[in-house]
């Protein structure tokens, strides 16, 4: 299982059925529940780590079902709090910040949360 799938599995276990985990970048049409979409953004040699270690960065997009801004902002903030608690429980992932944004068209309420982890890749037979 690759690191993106491992992260998706860990987030799914931590967040439960109240959230949908989408482990890859794709267009999202109708949302029924908050979505955490994972996009692998950068892979580079890990600083100050043994040879072969890689730092892998992701953007975790927390995307809410399209709602009025007034009611939606409170729901978005509550969902962000739940996501950050879940991320704290995953000890092999670091998050940097959470930036308020919108996602896609029609502009779903969202937060972008950059994440990073360190992995080792071994050769496959």
| CATH number of 30's domain | 3.30.2000.10
- The range of the structural domain enclosing residue 10 comes to 3-120
Tell me the whole-structure pTM to 2 decimals: 0.87
Going by C-alpha positions, the residue among 7, 43, 41 that lies closest to residue 121 is: 43
In a domain, 69, yes or no: yes
Contact (CB, 8 A) for 92 and 119: no
Least-confidence region, from 10-14, 28-32, 49-53, 113-117 = 49-53
DSSP-derived pairing of the beta strands 20-22 and 35-45 = parallel
In the chain, the number of structural domains is: 1
Report the alpha-carbon distance of residue 80 to residue 77 in Å, rounded: 5
Q: E strand or H helix at 74, and its extent? A: helix 69-89
- Whether 75 shows a pLDDT value over 60: the answer reads yes
């Amino acid at each position: 299982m690759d690191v993106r799938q491992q992260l998706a599995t860990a987030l799914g276990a931590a967040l439960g059925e109240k959230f949908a985990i989408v482990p890859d970048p794709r267009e999202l049409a109708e949302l029924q529940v908050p979505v955490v979409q994972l996009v692998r953004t950068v892979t580079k040699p890990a600083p100050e780590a043994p040879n072969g270690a890689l730092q892998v960065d992701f953007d975790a997009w927390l995307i809410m079902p399209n709602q009025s801004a007034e009611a939606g902002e409170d729901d978005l903030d509550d969902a962000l709090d739940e996501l950050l608690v879940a991320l704290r429980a995953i000890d092999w992932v670091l998050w940097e910040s959470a930036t308020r944004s919108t996602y896609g068209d029609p502009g779903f309420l969202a937060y972008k949360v950059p994440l990073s982890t360190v992995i080792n890749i071994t050769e496959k037979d």
